[in-house]
């Protein structure tokens, strides 16, 4: 069962602009995580936000979580060409005690120099 759905599927912006990606999920969660994947590589963890948190920052990244709407957003400010990658949200269902994550299909971000 698909837990995370991401929007948009693809995003193309100019360097220096902000990029916003959205994620929606279906069931109650313990936490929501965002990962980045460069082409042909493994995933790299960016940020984790717990269900009792509403906003979290890490460098140029800002994540928000709205549990009433079952949605999250990832904002990358002042984007760089090196930010070009696919971004995935992943949720850890509250009903699970296994650490299993369910991933969305991802947003492909292209940052043009």
Indicate whether 76 belongs to the interface with another protein (CB under 8 A). no
Which stretch, 12-20, 27-35, 52-60, 74-82, contacts another protein (CB under 8 A)? Answer: 27-35
- Between CA 57 and CA 23, with CA 68 as vertex, the angle to 5 degrees is 55
Reading the block at residue 83, the tokens are: 């930010």
> Pick from 79, 83, 104, 109: which binds another protein (CB under 8 A)?
104
Q: Which long-range CB contacts under 8 A does 53-58 form with residues at least 24 apart? A: none
**Based on CB atoms, which residue is closest to another protein, 33 or 71?**
33
> Pick from 33, 71, 84, 91: which binds another protein (CB under 8 A)?
33
For 42, other C-beta atoms within 10 Å of its C-beta total 7
**Based on CB atoms, which residue is closest to another protein, 31 or 67?**
31
Task: Say how far apart CA 42 and CA 5 lie, in whole Å.
Answer: 20
Indicate whether 41 belongs to the interface with another protein (CB under 8 A). yes
Q: Give the interface with another protein as residue ranges (CB under 8 A).
A: 1, 4, 30-31, 33, 35, 40-45, 48, 88, 90, 92, 98-106
């Amino acid at each position: 069962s698909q837990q995370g759905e991401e929007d948009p599927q693809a995003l193309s912006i100019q360097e220096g602009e902000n990029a916003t990606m959205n994620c929606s999920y279906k069931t109650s969660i313990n936490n929501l995580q965002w990962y980045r994947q460069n082409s042909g590589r493994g995933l790299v963890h960016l940020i984790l936000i717990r269900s009792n948190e509403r906003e979290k920052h890490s460098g140029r990244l800002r994540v928000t979580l709205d549990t009433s709407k079952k949605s999250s957003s990832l904002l990358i400010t002042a984007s760089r060409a090196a930010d070009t990658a696919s971004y995935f949200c992943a949720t850890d269902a509250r009903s699970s005690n296994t650490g299993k994550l369910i991933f969305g299909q991802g947003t492909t971000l292209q940052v043009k120099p």
